[in-house]
Amino acid sequence: MEQQDQGLEASAAANGKTNTLLQIQSLLPSFTKSEQKVAHIVLNQTESVIYSSVIDLAEKAEVGETTVLRFCRKIGFRGYQEFKLALAQELVNPVKNLHGEVGEDDSLGILTQKVTATNRQAIEDTSALFDLEQLERCIELLGNAGTIHFYGVGTSAVTAQDAKYTCLRIGLWVDAFTESHLQAMAAATLGPGDVAVGLSVSGSTKDTIDSLKVAKEAGATVICITHYRRSPITNVADITLLTAAQEGPLQGGSLAAKMAQLHVLDVIVTSLTMRNKEKALMYKERTAKAVLARKY
């Protein structure tokens, strides 16, 4: 896990100005209560923070200076000044959840623009969170896997099914399971050389996590796609891929969250297709012909 976190921190540095606030949002549940106070000040008063000293920020958050410094180190910075510099760069291209800004008095045209901006931002922010080393490992494992399983429930169940259809078209031996008992039974049939992929925006979906544990005990490699960098699902996973869009307790089925998941999968499948062009083309032609008679 420590090695994985170091890779994610390196990716944050490489991606530059759009990553600081995204990393804070992704790590939010894993902070201590005192660190969360600092995080909320940074997320809600970003412009004022870049002009604040470490003492100023500590006073605003009502915590000690050591908490602020510990917070900075947790998100990958050596100290407060380095953190402030990255935050200042962040303001050049601020990350905003425009969907949350939709108002009752907005016209249909304005509402359409805001929702569109939110969905577009979900894809851009997810790209900014890509850890290319983790992504490369994931692509290699899926390309060489004997069997691939996708597990997801609720909103993530739709993504799991879509991943299955997409991977089938390029000749991968794949299935998707969205019911808890079937997930557990299927996971028990995996072994070394197989891959189980768990999809969970919250990273806390018990059925999916339990199935991944079964798959891991059976010898399979476990990959998770989630919003939160430190969450129960990442403790099980060998590889973690992050998505930027999140869902509140009353936002189940958020399109932006689903689009973020699909974007990660699209990058993976596109890469697999390009690496095995002839095989992928052959299976795409076969699968297209197989359903041709079912269309008018």
Do the Cβ atoms of 122 and 244 come closer than 8 Å? Answer: yes
pLDDT at 94: 47
Q: 2 in a domain, yes or no?
A: no
**Domain containing residue 137: CATH number:** 3.40.50.10490
Whether the predicted pLDDT of 189 surpasses 70: yes
**pTM attached to this predicted model:** 0.71
Residue 175: strand pairing partners: 149
Residue 256's domain comprises 132-294
Whether the predicted pLDDT of 182 surpasses 50: yes
Q: 274 in a domain, yes or no?
A: yes
Q: 106 in a domain, yes or no?
A: yes
Backbone angles phi, psi at 213, to 5 degrees: -65, -40
Whether 87 and 226 share a structural domain: no
Whether 267 and 139 share a structural domain: yes
Tell me: the pLDDT tens digits for 66-85?
999 999 999 888 888 888 88
Final residue of a domain: which of 67, 92, 117? 117
Q: 50 in a domain, yes or no?
A: yes
Name the CA radius of gyration of the chain, rounded. Answer: 21
Residue 223: strand pairing partners: 197, 239
Whether the predicted pLDDT of 106 surpasses 80: no
Backbone angles phi, psi at 198, to 5 degrees: -100, 130
Whether 140 and 267 share a structural domain: yes
pLDDT at 280: 86
Whether the predicted pLDDT of 279 surpasses 60: yes
Tell me: the pLDDT tens digits for 217-276?
999 999 999 988 878 899 999 999 999 876 544 445 578 889 999 999 999 999 999 998
Whether 112 and 160 share a structural domain: no
Whether 254 and 113 share a structural domain: no
CA distance linking residue 138 with residue 145, whole number of Å = 10
What is the DSSP secondary structure assignment for residue 16, as one 8-state letter? G
Q: 4 in a domain, yes or no?
A: no
Number of domains making up the chain: 2
